[in-house]
Structure 1
Amino acid sequence: MDFIFNKNRISNKKLTIKIFFLILGLIHIGIGAALFVLSNVGSDPFNVFMQGISNHTILTIGMANSMVSLIWFMIIFFVSRKYIRLGTVFSVFILGPMIDLAMFVFSPIINNELPFSMRIITMLIGCNIIAFGVAVVYNVNLGMVPNDIMSVMIAEKTKFQFRWVRITYDVSIVVIGFLMGGVFGIGTIVCAVLTGPLIQFFMPISKKYITKYIT
């Protein structure tokens, strides 16, 4: 299982610290995704798909996330396992339960009874939390989540430009999720427009603190 770990060996202490920040980042992504869903003004592309699956099965949105992530993980494992690292494994088992836990905790106060303006604010907070979590996960450099690896792997295998593969991938899962009852709305559009710039904003901030503890 050496392919899971970075070829550049690091001390156990540094690895432990990186794993701590990795888990912290994944928790933030899970909480942000839950706020997106609870705001009910349009989820991020992947969770539009998860909502669709949840609507047609007995699975919660978090369980659907875990199931699809595991399926993606197995595909990646057999097609191009070089992309699988420790962070990839952790994400399969942390993100789904974290989404469900956050939805359970926040659903009594964040629901359709809130004014629309408050739900928009909730969605924007969720977008920021997701972006911060993604920046942290990226900066610990322990691997990508399966959903992100799929686009990279498809681009590599098909030789198409990554940006077009990613756009096609995101649009496809949004359309499928929407047709299955997932919520597409202003939140989905905001996520597509703002997440990239917000990740870029949080990258140097999170890197500063992570570097402080691992150097």
Structure 2
Amino acid sequence: MTILAGIGAGPWDALNVGLAMITPFSVGNWVIFIGMLLIILNALLTRSKPVIHSLLTIVLIGYLIDFWLIIVFNDLLFSGLMLKVFVLLVGIVIIAFGASIYLQAEFAIIPIDGFMFALRDLLKVKLMVAKTITELIALVAALIVGGPIGIGTLLITFLIGPLIQFFFPRMKKRIHWKEAGEKEFL
């Protein structure tokens, strides 16, 4: 939704779209390639082995992005600034909400979020600060490759971290409430 809104993709998406525009590879392919690079970078930053099972996550995401962009929404264009902003904002909330849920599983997190956690631990900052830093790094890279940057990019850059920070503890509380209840009875 954030790509299709047409008012600037998120920094990582802008990077992937920009790279897809100047190479023969698709946006989904670049999600996979960048993900592989981030797996290596995350291992270096955390001084640990690469999280190889994250490959499964990025391959799945890469192919799903291509499926949605190429097959499902191939010719979909939104018109009118208000509709574009609405689609973008809904997309941002869905991404933050979804990320806060899937991060609870602590299994095969996408390399972008692994990068966020690595920076959080390395820099000793809050999750939203680390996420904003990773988004700014991607934004600079997207600018270099000529990705679709606009007001939407800035909104995603500065809203996604705080929204994940907002949703994360609430989802953790909801997801783990049953575990806490079971422990009381054991």
TM-score, reference length from structure 2: 0.75
Opposite residue 54 of structure 1, the aligned amino acid is A
The aligned residue for residue 106 of structure 1 is 73
Match of 1:51 among 14, 17, 34: 17
C-alpha distance 206-83 of structure 1, shift in aligned 2 (>3 A) = farther
Match of 1:135 among 85, 100, 104: 100
Greater alpha carbon shift after TM alignment, 36-45 vs 198-207: 198-207
Opposite residue 67 of structure 1, the aligned amino acid is F
Match of 2:157 among 187, 192, 208: 192
Opposite residue 140 of structure 1, the aligned amino acid is A
Opposite residue 42 of structure 1, the aligned amino acid is G
Alignment of 1:14-53 (within 5 A): 35-53=1-19
Q: Is structure 2 residue 143 aligned with structure 1 residue 178?
A: yes
C-alpha distance 90-208 of structure 1, shift in aligned 2 (>3 A) = farther
CA contact (8 A) 1:72 1:150 kept: yes
The aligned residue for residue 84 of structure 1 is 51
Q: Is structure 2 residue 37 aligned with structure 1 residue 71?
A: yes
C-alpha distance 49-118 of structure 1, shift in aligned 2 (>3 A) = same
> 1:81, 1:189 → 2: CA distance?
32
> 1:91, 1:208 → 2: CA distance?
25
> 1:205, 1:155 → 2: CA distance?
19
**What SS does structure 2 have at the residue aligned with 1:193?**
helix
Instruction: Report deviation, 1:205.
Output: 5.0
C-alpha distance 160-194 of structure 1, shift in aligned 2 (>3 A) = closer
CA contact (8 A) 2:43 2:51 kept: yes
Opposite residue 84 of structure 1, the aligned amino acid is V
> 2:95, 2:141 → 1: CA distance?
22
The aligned residue for residue 86 of structure 2 is 121
CA contact (8 A) 2:40 2:50 kept: no
C-alpha distance 122-165 of structure 1, shift in aligned 2 (>3 A) = closer
> 1:150, 1:205 → 2: CA distance?
22
| Identical pairs, percent | 23
Greater alpha carbon shift after TM alignment, 44-53 vs 99-108: 99-108
> 1:206, 1:161 → 2: CA distance?
23
Q: Is structure 2 residue 60 aligned with structure 1 residue 60?
A: no
Cα-Cα RMSD:
3.1
TM-score, reference length from structure 1: 0.66
Match of 2:112 among 147, 155, 173: 147
Opposite residue 28 of structure 2, the aligned amino acid is G
> 2:44, 2:169 → 1: CA distance?
35
Instruction: Report deviation, 1:202.
Output: 3.0
